Structures are given as C-alpha cells and as structure tokens.
Amino acid sequence: MTDYYDKLETRSAEQREGEQIAAVAAQVAHAKAHCPAWAKILADVDPATITDAAAVASLPVTRKASLIDLQGASMPFGGMVDASSSAHMNYVFTSPGPIYEPGFDVPDAWRFARALHAGGLRQGDLVQNCFSYHFTPAGAMFDSAAKHLGCTVIAAGVGNTEMQAQSLHKLRPSAYIGTPSFLKIILEKADELGLDSSSVQRAVVGGEPFLPPLQSYFKERGIAVLQGYATADLGNIAYEVPGGQGMLLDEELYLEIVRPGTGEPVPVGEVGEILVTTFNPHYPLIRFATGDMSAFMDGQSPCGRTGKRIKGWLGRADQATKVRGMFVRPEQVAELASKHQEIGKIRITVDQLQGKDSMLVACETDMPSDRLLVAVADNIRNVIHLRGEVELVAVGSLPNDGKVIDDQRQY
C-alpha cells in the first residue's frame, strides 16, 4: 500500500528522530513560557539542552494523578493550558477523577485523521460514529477527524441499538467508528430485525480490547476492521494499518517506553509504561505517563511506513497494592533497585500463606552473593517498610510483561 496520509509517514528514522526531538524542545520552551503549571514543573530545564533522546529522558514525568491535584488547586485546567492561545477553546470534557480536558477549534485537533485514512476512510464516505458525545471527548475526537478527511458523519453516539441498526439500513454508511463490541451488537440487532447492514465495509475501533473472537466475527462478515490506541488527554497515539504488524505511532508526538515507576527507557522489545509528549501548543503534555504498557517492535512495518511500532496495549502499569496494611508502589521498587548497582530488574510477588500476606522480592543479577541478599533485605525494610523474602535470579529470567508488582492473592 502506497497511499500514505502525508510525507511524515515515510521519513528516514534519523530525520524523524531529529525533528521530533526538536519539537519536544520547542514544546518545553513554549510550555514554560505560557503555562504556569509547566513553568513550575520544568523550572530547572533549559530547552536548549534538549538535543537527543537522553536529554528527553531526563525530563520530569507527569502522571494523570497530577492533573487531578493541579486542577483541584486551580480550576479548571490547573495552569496547564496556554492562556494566550489564539485557538478558540470550544469544548470542555470530563473524565473520571474528575479530570477536565479542553478541546480547541483547530482542524483534526486530536490527530485521528491519519488513523482513519489508514482504515480506508476517504472524502465523500458516510461514517456512523458510535463513540460517546456525552462528557467524553471520544465522539468529538473522531467526528473532527472524519470531517477533516471530507467524510460525512452520522453523530450516532452510544445506545439506542435499534435506531443504530435502522441507521445502517436506511442511510447505508460505508464505515463504522466506535468500540468493536458495540458494532457486533448493532449488526446482530440488524440481523434480528431483518435489516440490511451490508453497506458497512470498513471500521476503525478502539476503547476496549479487540479480542480474536471479535476479529474473526467481522472477518466472516467481510468487514475490514483496524484498531487504534488513544487516551482522552493525548488523542491518537498509535494505529493499525492494512497488512501491518503491531501499531504505528502517530507522527506528531514523541513516545517513550519506560520501566514502571521510573522515567528510565527500556530496551526495544521489553515491556514498560508508555510516556507521551505531544506537540499540541494549546494543551502541552510532556512525558505524560499513560499508565498503559506496551513494547517497541524491531524493524519496519511491511506497509512501507517507516515510523516506530509498538505491540499494542499490553496491560496497566498502575500496580500499587496493599501488603499487610501498607501500600507497595512501583516507585518504591525503582528506588530499591537504584540502591544496588548489581541488580537489574526487580519483581515483587505478593501472595498469601496460611492466611497471611507474603512478599517475595526477585532480583535479576549476574553477581549473586550472601552479602547482596542481606543488603537487599535491609533496604526492603528501609524503602518499602515491610519484610520480604529475597531471591537472586539470573539476568533475563523474570517475565517480560512490564510487571514490577505481581499480586497473586485470590479474593
């Protein structure tokens, strides 16, 4: 397939990295100058020093919980929006927390047109958008992108299954946007009512795992379905393409994968937490921790696009759990590892023995010793404030699933 959305998709790796790091530096300078919250967070950062990936990796990480705290102190956006922006803020959305997200009157504000184009949507297509328009930005995100491509949008939203099926039958849209499970529900309702739903030939889905049984169901009905990965704060992050493997990153952001609880990038192939820096000047988000896990893939996509790929959504990095009445958090695991140069990865397994919580701390090292066992046990008490059994294991023996805390208790 050579029908690319724009030239950004076929840049050389060197050009892409150079341009994106320059964009990160520009975003840092802009945010410091125009957003009070970022001016504080980035107070010690000189944008001129951001010239490579290592410099980006040294910037502070901002987590979603920080938005709740900042917005609680300064409504509605906690000083993270550019108050001098020339773009009109035409939406305010609400996510659980609550967290308030702004929407701006700029074309394809959340950058989904690229993903929809990869899914086969083109000018003149009639599209049934079944993402919610109620409080959440999802409906508006895809609405904006589809209209940017020149599509006509049926603003269907969620619910009203019979009306959704009637819409397919009477209006005959060529494409669907929404969650994959809801598309199945609509198609089954159309079948039940004897309505024709055959006009839908393509779909771009998201918002939930797209599991193999659903993939097979749509394939049997002749519907080409691709999925995307996005968040309410960041917009489009990655998307599937026909004939591709994994998910390609959006071209207008900088994405890192780090060890959960840290800002430390992991090697290609290792599962970690996704951090994203957007280039949106109106609502900057810099090294924003999504709480989602994935891994970079080696090599180039078979479709000819040269961008980096991730393996898709591989779980959550929010692994904090309570052991014997005390919270154990990924940040504490990272602090424990930092105290021992001989140790690489650490994985804490929490279980119950005879009705009591147990904690096993497995540490990868190629220099095992009794001295290290004792030192780690001491620092577990100092850092995590609990006692735990320590096990020194070979480098590479812990699972590559991004987990640093594995709670195996059955409730």
Q: How confident is the model at residue 330 (pLDDT cuts 50, 70, 90)?
A: confident
Name the band, by pLDDT with cuts 50, 70 and 90, for residue 53.
very high
Question: In CATH, which of 3.40.50.720, 3.30.300.30, 3.40.50.620, 3.90.180.10 is domain 321-407?
Answer: 3.30.300.30
- Residue 212: exposed, middle, or buried by beta-carbon count in 10 A (0-12, 13-18, 19+)? exposed
Task: Domain ranges for the chain, please list them.
Answer: 7-310, 321-407
Q: Give the residues across from 296 on adjacent strands.
A: 310
| pTM (predicted TM-score) | 0.84
pLDDT of 2: 61
Residue 64 has pLDDT above 50, yes or no: yes
> What CA–CA distance (Å, rounded) separates 155 from 173?
12
Please give the pLDDT value at position 411. Answer: 58
Strand partners, 343: 365
Q: How would residue 246 be classed by pLDDT, with cut points 50, 70 and 90?
A: very high
104-118, 137-151, 319-333, 361-375: which range is least confident on average? 319-333
Element containing residue 185 per DSSP (H, E): helix 180-193
Q: Are 164 and 186 in contact (CB under 8 A)?
A: yes
The one-letter amino acid code at 109 reads A
Give the residue-averaged pLDDT of 243-253: 93
pLDDT single digits (tens) 142-186: 999 999 999 999 999 999 999 999 999 999 999 999 999 999 999
pLDDT tens per residue across span 189-208:
999 999 999 999 999 999 88
**Which two tokens mark 52?**
């490579």
pLDDT exceeds cutoff 60 at 1: no
- Alpha helices by DSSP H, listed for 194-230, are 212-220
Single-letter code of the amino acid located at 325: G
The reported pLDDT for the residue numbered 341 is: 93
CA torsion angle 167 171 176 180 (round to 10): 30
Burial annotation 117-131 (CB, 10 A radius, 16+ → b, else e): bbbbbeeebebbbbb
Please tell me the distance from the alpha carbon of residue 210 to that of residue 187, in angstroms, as a whole number: 16
The mean pLDDT value for 39-61 works out to: 97
Per residue in 67-117, pLDDT (tens digit) is: 988 998 888 899 999 988 778 999 999 988 789 999 999 999 999 999 999
Q: Which CATH class is domain 7-310?
A: alpha beta
Question: Could you give the CA distance from residue 167 to residue 171 in angstroms, rounded to a whole number?
Answer: 5
